[in-house]
Structure 1
Amino acid sequence: MDNEKGGDKAYPDIDVVSHASNSSAPHDQTHRKLKGRHIQLIGIGGTIGTALFVQIGSALTEGGPGSLFLAFTIWSTFILAINNCLSEMVTWMPIASPFVRFADSFVDPALGFCAGINFFVFEAALVPFEVVAFNLVLQFWTDKIPVAAVIAFVLMCYALLNFFAVGWYGESEFWLAVGKVVLAVGLISFTFVTMIGGNPLHDVYGFRSWDHSQVAGAPFAEHIKTGSLGRFLGFLTCLIQASFTIAGPDYVSMTAGEAELPRQTLPRAFNSVFYRLTTFFVLGSLCVGIVVPYNDPNLLDALSDAKPGAGSSPYVIAMERLQIPILPHIVNALILTSIFSAGNSYVYCASRTLFGLALEGKMPKVLAQCTRNGVPIYTVAVTLAIALLSFLQVSNNAAVVLQWFVNLVTASQLLNYAIISFTYLRFYYALQAQCISRERLPHRSFWQPFCGYYAFTGTFIMAFVGGWTVFLPNNWDVPTFLFSYAMLGVAPVSFIFWKIFRRTTWQRAEDTTFFDKEREQIDLYEDTYIPEAPSGIFGKIADFLFT
């Protein structure tokens, strides 16, 4: 391969040509400006939010500390399996909107359309939800700021960070996600210090909340029913919470088309994000069950009254019980940055998903156009236009309406993971059918194809379990049923629609293509890459810590 360094095409701004055979197809004009540290923190930033610090308290009250810890630990194994599937495919073929386009080539273009619509709607719907959550957390201190002003400010910030060079987004998300890491580590440390007596009351409470002799029903609480069935239902509720809370690999994969040296940075990013997230979520679920009993009346009242911001957080309730005055405000401030960071990630992922659909001809070509800085400006604009739904909060019932909308697409995450797992299995057997040894891949994940089958089975089943309470006697509710299962009906409809509309064919393993043109371009880019020295002392320190 010619390694000339004379032209622009030899540098990180190299354009990666779409694999479509049609010469008039849109080209990927994004730039590879995301460093390894950006990608690692984007994966964390899009996952850690109010679910880990606040909403987890609801699952604690229904399952108890033992069920909560066990559920989060078990679900982490499914995330590991998904991580293994994505890392192997994405590292070899680091293209824009990867798992959506992989479904195109390895399974059926109709599945690619289904996956793209599913993931875009899911991500785009979460942007207004996070904007609303931002305002609610702000009300922990005051409700005097006009709601419309808060929403406009947040959306303007998202626009500034996403309309300009991707490096702006990566750098902003890096430092915002650092705040999440600080908060997660701080709350874990708070739990350890206070449980051994490091608190104003000098109360050595240890694992008191796990002791059934001091807390009735601990550590496995009964939910809805009594006895063993009730304890199992409590665990199931916690498992549902975990399945909707723990994510990460999909956010890392969405950066593949804009990552510097993807074959080097992506495997490290996938591994580091998984292990860090698992540590935060598993230890976080353990800590929540330590700092406050599952039947604590203050926790139950805070959840029933929907106290704003950190007011419903088990950690804040524990701080108030231990008479620690300043920490609740610090926690609320960091939760505020966590929510902003999550919404920022959703704008990025939703816009890149729509961009990937446009590259594959499944959306208007105009959506595949980029600015001179490599930003798909029209897909960002569409995503932010949907985010204008957050202005519904100006009315009294806006929060309820938005929560319904989010519930409508919650199963999309699990359905997305099931599609990723199934796509990997098709990829795995296509390699075998074409006598391509996995030894040739730049990164090979372990326990394959077991991880593919394991992840597909678990996520597919859990997608149908989320609204199980509606099937209990005397508990049928049509809106709840629709909000829980609508996307499970929309997905096959979108698949059938595209299959009939475009008359797509199921890909045979022997005929599968592996994005050869893109891989050749990426090989050329990596062979001729000239690293840029980190700018500033903070950049150098950050690159060193996250290399």
Structure 2
Amino acid sequence: MADDKPPLQSEKVDYEVGNSQLVGDDELRREFKPRQVFMFSIACAIGTGLVIGSGGALAKGGPGSLLISYLAVGAAVFFVMTGLGEMAAYLPMSKGFGGYATRLVDPAFGFATGWNYFLKYCIATPTNLTAAGLVIQYWRPDLNVAIWVAVFGSVVIIINLLHVGKFGETEFWLGVIKVAVMTAMIIICLVSALGGAPNKTRTGFAYWQNPGAFASYLFPDSALGRFLGWWACMSQACFPFTGTEVVGMTFGETPNPRKNIPRAVKQTFWRITCFYIIGVLVLGMAVPYDNERLLGAVKAKTSAAASPFVVAAVIAGIPVFADIINACLLVFTLSAASTDIYCASRSIYGLAKDGQAPKLFAKVLSSGSPVWAIAISACFVLLAFMNASQSSGTVFQYFVSLVTIFAVLNWLAIAVSHISFRRALKAQGVDLQSLPYVASFQPYGSYYALFISVLIIIFSGYDAFVPTFSPSTFVLKYLGTVIFIFNVGLWKALKRSRRVKALEVDLVTGRREFELHESAAEAQWGSGIWKRALAKFRR
């Protein structure tokens, strides 16, 4: 079979001059507003992983391990996003992360990346719907979670079928709520630690001294136990960060990508710092890792009872806060489930555009929604009905394990794609100053992100061997990696694809079309100003 090299000819794309949207057949519409992309980039970083999952990490590793692990993983994710920003601003594409992997690395690598991202969000959808059902069970434990899965699943599917602009507006306001709630929780923890809460107890960093900054996990009171506690935090930290790269999926529907993409990417630093780093720092100040409420909440696994921020509020003497946070968590989970279907549909849309999935999934309605891609993505909502016969908490943990590994593999794929992008620029003599956006500390940052990703992929399943071997844990922790490697081998066997050499990387297709489009739009905008001024003068 012929080599599966990326095409060097220009893609057939028509542009409507003066309008930022793509109007070619089966093309996504660039109708996300800058404020929607901005809020999308912030809100996607806030989910159940941060609000709930951080409690388990605090109990296992202590506040010191929690902060260090969030700093390490946060830095890796930041470099993943800045690398993606460089590629997306220079080569705007609507094919998702798999499109860059196909074009810059190897079509087989792109095939595996695209399907990995699709599977990640297909699994994330029932994960968040299960969490939404468990949130409701906090008030109505007598009702089966499957009821709420059906109700909320229908809602998020309908939201995704809306016009892309309306979808963006819906996510914008849900994001505003998420940001407000997360900010309130951080402030409450800080005020509590400084003695401003009803209990009038000023803790400061006292919990870092007693019971201590580093907890022992699996092996009590030992250096090995403290190391495993830190590594448990590293593994857990990946799940809260899994939504950070989601904003990259909006780049195919963002107007003026060379201006708005760098702006959205630069916000990554501030959202990681404000919500993740400061969040876990004040959490460690307000809640000791050996608190009985925290340990009991970790066993609960989901709902407001499992949130360490709620535990902090109860310790501070604000018990009613649990009901408020539980209601807010419902917004968190529904927004996340809606975003999951969006990302899954855009991923398989990109695969179809690259010929790596049936062309049917590249069909787009006049509203800008890839209807068949949304339909296949929505089918995975049915997985959430596993709760009807299994423990909801158990099913939730199964999904979390799979989602985490799929997410880290995505970071690895983006880092490898960016490294190849930089090599291609150097080999083809492209001056970095000609890029719309040049990230700091790159490409070294991508090498760091690649190192952290590989480390976590290899050793994330350590708890499958300690203290005794657990076959189910082993499968859940390594199934995603096996699927990824299998997909790479499958595409190479079917298409005989080969790695794209640096001198062969296509750095032209799409870029020139956007330059012509932006120039024409600016020219029409300028002429419009003169026309309006002349009409005003005549009046």
Tell me if TM exceeds 0.5: yes
* SS of 1:254 mapped into structure 2: helix
Residue of structure 2 equivalent to 1:526: 518
Alignment partner of 1:75 is 2:73: yes
Query: Which amino acid is 1:521 matched to?
Result: E
> Residues 182 and 530 of structure 1: is their aligned pair in 2 closer, same or farther, counting only changes over 3 Å?
farther
Residue of structure 2 equivalent to 1:155: 153
Residue of structure 2 equivalent to 1:229: 224
Residue of structure 1 equivalent to 2:105: 107
Contact 1:407 1:483 (8 Å CA) reproduced: yes
> Residues 105 and 288 of structure 1: is their aligned pair in 2 closer, same or farther, counting only changes over 3 Å?
same
Contact 1:424 1:452 (8 Å CA) reproduced: yes
Alignment partner of 1:265 is 2:260: yes
TM norm structure 2: 0.90
* Separation (CA, whole Å) in 1 of partners of 2:358 and 2:209: 60
TM norm structure 1: 0.89
Alignment partner of 1:415 is 2:409: yes
* SS of 1:246 mapped into structure 2: helix
Q: Structure 2 unaligned runs (5+)?
A: 1-13, 524-539
Alignment of 1:347-366 (within 5 A): 347-366=341-360
202-211 vs 348-357, which moves further: 202-211
* Separation (CA, whole Å) in 2 of partners of 1:125 and 1:178: 25
Residue of structure 2 equivalent to 1:444: 438
Contact 2:55 2:308 (8 Å CA) reproduced: yes
Query: Which amino acid is 1:253 matched to?
Result: G
Q: Give the Å deviation of 1:86.
A: 0.7
Residue of structure 1 equivalent to 2:92: 94
Q: Give the Å deviation of 1:318.
A: 2.5
**Residue deviations 1:169-201, cap 9 Å, x none?**
111111111111111211111112222222222
Q: Structure 1 unaligned runs (5+)?
A: 1-5, 17-26, 532-547
* Separation (CA, whole Å) in 2 of partners of 1:419 and 1:146: 39
* Separation (CA, whole Å) in 1 of partners of 2:438 and 2:46: 27
**Residue deviations 1:281-317, cap 9 Å, x none?**
011111221111100112112222x175111212222
Query: Which amino acid is 1:203 matched to?
Result: T
Residue of structure 1 equivalent to 2:453: 459
Query: Which amino acid is 1:120 matched to?
Result: F
> Residues 47 and 97 of structure 1: is their aligned pair in 2 closer, same or farther, counting only changes over 3 Å?
farther
* SS of 1:491 mapped into structure 2: helix
310-319 vs 349-358, which moves further: 310-319
Alignment partner of 1:294 is 2:289: yes
* Separation (CA, whole Å) in 2 of partners of 1:326 and 1:140: 14
Contact 2:48 2:240 (8 Å CA) reproduced: no
Residue of structure 2 equivalent to 1:118: 116
Residue of structure 2 equivalent to 1:12: 20
Contact 2:15 2:21 (8 Å CA) reproduced: no
Query: Which amino acid is 1:114 matched to?
Result: A
* Separation (CA, whole Å) in 1 of partners of 2:462 and 2:203: 36
* Separation (CA, whole Å) in 2 of partners of 1:238 and 1:396: 27
Match of residue 382, structure 1, among 362, 376, 382: 376
* Separation (CA, whole Å) in 1 of partners of 2:399 and 2:302: 20
* Separation (CA, whole Å) in 1 of partners of 2:30 and 2:208: 49
Query: Which amino acid is 1:111 matched to?
Result: F
Contact 1:11 1:528 (8 Å CA) reproduced: no
Alignment partner of 1:495 is 2:473: no
Query: Which amino acid is 2:315 matched to?
Result: R
Q: Give the Å deviation of 1:523.
A: 2.2
Q: Give the Å deviation of 1:396.
A: 4.0
Contact 1:29 1:370 (8 Å CA) reproduced: yes
Percent identical: 33
Residue of structure 2 equivalent to 1:21: none
Residue of structure 2 equivalent to 1:200: 198
Residue of structure 2 equivalent to 1:127: 125
Residue of structure 2 equivalent to 1:31: 29
Number of residue equivalences: 511
* Separation (CA, whole Å) in 2 of partners of 1:196 and 1:398: 38
Computed over aligned residues only, the root mean square deviation of the Cα atoms, in angstroms, reads 2.2
* SS of 2:124 mapped into structure 1: helix
378-387 vs 138-147, which moves further: 138-147
**Residue deviations 1:423-464, cap 9 Å, x none?**
111111111111111111111111222112111111111111
Alignment partner of 1:509 is 2:507: no
257-266 vs 236-245, which moves further: 236-245
